[in-house]
Amino acid sequence: MLEVSISQSGVSEVVLVQRDGQDDLVPDLSAELVAVVTAVDADVPVLLTAGEPERLPAGPLRSDHRSMQSGLSAWVEQQTGHRLGYVEQLYTFADSGRDERRAISVSYLGLTRTTDGPGWQDWYAYFPWEDRRAPSGVVPAAAAMVDDLVRPALDAWVAAGTTDERDRRRRRADICFGLGGRHWSPELALQRYELLYESGAIPEAGTGGPTVPGQAMQSDHRRILATALSRLRAKIQYRPVVFELVPDSFTLGQLQRTVEALAGQPLHKQNFRRLVTGQELVEETGSSSSQTGGRPARLYRFRRDVLDERHVAGTKLPSVR
């Protein structure tokens, strides 16, 4: 049987205990708290990193932490100088086989408007195939990368499978990367990363063969980051979390660009505005901004009362232009 305890070193451990004369042959585990802290700066989605090799802010759960969230906040502030605001639990990773350590990683997603200090990096430096924003009529660089680099790697992986595996691998590759006439789904970021790992197309797989572009991270941190990207892209479609990433006053254009930055795809302008205003998620402030490069644009603010009034659908992503 497994029990969670706090060791003398202050690290939370899952230890082997004996019950009814039977031993469970499971090695000791350590618990690590990992933070994915994200913001949008000048229409670029950025995340907070710490240390070398490149990693996310993280540290062990200690006996002097009042809770996992307080422990997480302490590690983030100690390693980056940043104080956490909005935060929610993301996922708990407890599988083995990707790292020499056997650890439970309890990850959290934090949203902020502050990008002061060092350590902020572009999300898409780690997942360059995910940013499909481009002017109308222009092929996004990410789409070209999928065609030129990702597709050949996946084709080789499909061909290397057994007869029974090939159809399953082909279908999985097509669904994840929008190949074979299928639609690109932005919320499948984690599935795409896992597929590239399984096919040996990223450095973390350790195959030593050719890999697609993208900055690697320590341990499983890029996998955790991919999980956060999928969660955030899905969540902005049904909860108004995007308002945690924009200033108190914003233009509708600024709000749309923030959603596009997270989604990695362009949105239909009229549909987006109709959706946001029709759900009464925002209200005018009575002021305007002259920093739009054209006519002054009206400034809006998020109607936080709407959360108490009704269950909101959130800022759903309209169809791609």
Give residue-wise pLDDT tens across range 166-184: 999 999 999 999 999 999 9
Check residue 122 and give its pLDDT.
96
70 shares its domain with 175: no
How far apart are the C-alpha atoms of 223 and 207, rounded to whole Å?
17
Partners of 107 in beta bridges: 34, 91
101 shares its domain with 135: no
What residues have CB less than 8 Å from 303, skipping those under 6 apart?
280, 281, 282, 283
CB count within 10 Å of CB 261 equals 22
Q: Where does the pLDDT of residue 253 fall: very low under 50, low under 70, confident under 90, or very high at 90 and above?
A: very high
- Cβ distance 65 to 71 under 8 Å? yes
195 shares its domain with 133: yes
Q: How many alpha carbons lie under 13 Å from residue 117 in its C-beta half-sphere?
A: 15
4 three-class SS: strand
Domain interval for residue 299: 239-309
Q: Where does the pLDDT of residue 214 fall: very low under 50, low under 70, confident under 90, or very high at 90 and above?
A: very high
274 three-class SS: helix
- Cβ distance 286 to 292 under 8 Å? no
Percent of the chain whose predicted confidence (pLDDT) is above 90: 63
| Residue 12: pLDDT over 60 | no
User: Does residue 217 sit within a domain?
Assistant: no
Say which CATH number the domain at 44 has.
3.90.79.10
Tokens (6 digits) for 69: 């969230």
pTM for this model (two decimals): 0.86
Per the structure, the count of domains in the chain is 3
| Residue 273: pLDDT over 80 | yes
Of residues 147 and 240, the one with the higher pLDDT is 147
Mean pLDDT of 257-279: 92
- Cβ distance 281 to 303 under 8 Å? yes
How far apart are the C-alpha atoms of 64 and 44, rounded to whole Å?
37
Mean of the per-residue pLDDT values of the chain:
85
User: Does residue 290 sit within a domain?
Assistant: yes
- Comparing CA positions, the residue from 45, 317, 44, 38 lying closest to residue 185 is 317
- List Cα–Cα distances, 281 to 293, 301, 315, in angstroms: 26, 9, 9
Check residue 289 and give its pLDDT.
84
Mean pLDDT of 257-262: 96
User: Does residue 220 sit within a domain?
Assistant: no
109 shares its domain with 166: no
Of residues 69 and 171, the one with the higher pLDDT is 171
